Amino acid sequence: MRIPYCKTTMKNHIHTMLGRALILFCIIIFLDSCKLFRRKENTSTTSNKFPSNSSTKRSYNSKTINEIVSLARSYTGVPYRSGGTDGNGMDCSGLLFCVYGQYGFSIPRISWQQSQIGREVSLDDLRAGDWVFFVTNKGGTSSINHAGIVTESKNPKEIYFIHASSSKGIREDNLISKYWMSCFAKATRPF
């Protein structure tokens, strides 16, 4: 006796199998992208023009500060990208996170959290390596939402800092300007 061939049953079976395969594929992609399941890369064989993220914290002295400022300046022109932390694009707190991380300093990722690091310093006492924080009111916020690194303090009217401008990317600006002083919140010496 011949069993009748049912196209509907066969189609349902194929759709079920394809659905299961799609779910399995999605799970594999998720696990592969999940940081918990990633293998650590061997950084000893990869060459990088920047220092590697060391597990030992470096001392925060004038030599390290100059290197950090130089590294931050090497990113000048990198475009702004919300949440970015690399040469393809970065935001303001991502710049600090990236640069200090490459020197073995573990810092928070978000600007208002970064503003809690170190001790507060006055504008008169700012020097290279200090961090500056702002409330720009973009998005209607009343809390710190922008950060930068002081690159040099020439005189009381010329204090330069590097940051990620949302319109012009990584750049240096004079802190002592009408705009930046109008939204300046605080400055800290991080370590």
Helix (H) or strand (E) holding 35: none
Q: What percentage of the chain carries pLDDT values higher than 70?
A: 74
13 has catalytic annotation: no
Return the closest-CA partner of residue 99 out of 127, 74, 130, 134: 74
Handedness of CA 119, 123, 129, 135 (dihedral sign): positive
Among residues 190, 169, 188, 175, the alpha carbon closest in space to that of 92 is found at 169
Sign of the alpha-carbon torsion through 76, 80, 83, 86:
negative
User: Residue 18 is encoded by which pair of tokens?
Assistant: 């394809």
Residue with tokens 């390596």: 129
Predicted pLDDT of residue 130: 97
Backbone angles phi and psi of 54, in degrees to 5: -90, 150
Q: Report the largest interatomic distance among the alpha carbons of the chain, rounded to a whole angstrom.
A: 99
Within 10 angstroms of residue 94's Cβ, the number of other Cβ atoms is 24
Is 15 a residue of the active site? no
pLDDT higher than threshold 70 for residue 134: yes
pLDDT tens digit string along 10-46?
677 677 777 787 776 656 655 554 333 333 333 333 2
Q: Specify the DSSP element, H or E, that contains 95.
A: helix 92-101
Q: What is the mean pLDDT of residues 176-189?
A: 97
Q: Determine which one of 15, 34, 98, 163 is catalytic.
A: 163
155 Cβ neighbours under 8 A, 6+ residues apart: none
- pTM across the whole model: 0.69
